[in-house]
Amino acid sequence: MQKTWLITGVSSGLGRLLAEKALTRGDRVIGTSRSEDALADLRARHRETLRIVAMDLKDPASVRAAVDRAFGTVPRIDLVVSNAGYGLLGAAEEASDAQVRDIIDTNLIGSITLIQAALPHLRSQGGGRILQVSSEGGQIAYPAFSLYHATKWGIEGFVDSVAQEVAPFGIAFTLVEPGPARTSFGDNLARTRPLAAYEGTPADRIREALHGSWVIKGDPDRMTDAMIRLADQDPPLPKRLVLGAEAYAGVRKALAGRIDELDRQKHIAETADFTEEELARL
């Protein structure tokens, strides 16, 4: 059965691969990009099933207009894939006000606005699925990526809450959490101006590693295959889909560490409450 996808950030990376695969199997795709002229090669091959809608993720009015336009062109959109975003490399202290605002506007506020704009349409059509592309960086954190992590941890908390709000309407969410993959993500990193004080620190070592011989194992082709399978999966959907062996190992280690630390604080947590006797006197 043909599905209709709304995919943001289709110009490159996982967004483009996902659009290509959906189109190849006979689905319909409405993709967003800053220009409606994007993906000329794909539009030439899929004239009837691919449409590009211009959208500036940093402009809430543009996001809402693009989403309204997309839903207005087809009877139903089955899957909304919120995929656009970028990374900022550098220590938090090095980031300018403009860099902080830009990445939050794009990765976090842009994704929030997209979801807000899609929900009324999904409710009115009786449900649908939203795949929010996050990152392993939505559950773990590396030095030199603090602002990127702020956006990913932020969108994960937002989606966790909204998923509970809209479940009665048949709207399901999955946070897709890829590890490092061989896409253009690294080439498109924004960078802070390095401070001498951070030479030799963990943030500096991460910066150097990205220029070195770090082997990236993540295959974007296999990652998008997993996303296609998720689109076809019967409910309930997983709340999170971790992609990549390194991502799995890193997230598992981080979660185990948090549970261990939490358990060591159990007594402290419990002693922060009123006692039953005190509550009875209040």
Q: Which of 62, 135, 146, 152 is catalytic?
A: 152
Q: Which of 11, 33, 148, 198 is catalytic?
A: 148
- The helix (run of H) or strand (run of E) holding residue 80 is strand 79-82
Taking residue 124's Cβ as centre, other Cβ atoms within 10 Å add up to 9
How many residues would you count in the chain?
282
- The helix (run of H) or strand (run of E) holding residue 103 is helix 97-103
**Catalytic residue list contains 152:** yes
Q: Are 166 and 119 in contact (CB under 8 A)?
A: yes
Q: Which of 11, 134, 135, 146 is catalytic?
A: 134
**Catalytic residue list contains 142:** no
How far apart are the C-alpha atoms of 48 and 176, rounded to whole Å? 29
**Catalytic residue list contains 184:** no
Q: 């951070």: which residue's tokens?
A: 198
Q: Of the candidates 70, 2, 12, which has an alpha carbon nearest to the alpha carbon of residue 188?
A: 12
**Residue 241 — φ and ψ, nearest 5°?**
-125, 105
Q: 């989606």: which residue's tokens?
A: 159
> Is the bond leading into 60 cis (omega within 30 degrees of zero)?
no
Distance linking the first and last C-alpha atoms of the chain? 61
Kindly list the catalytic residues: 134, 148, 152
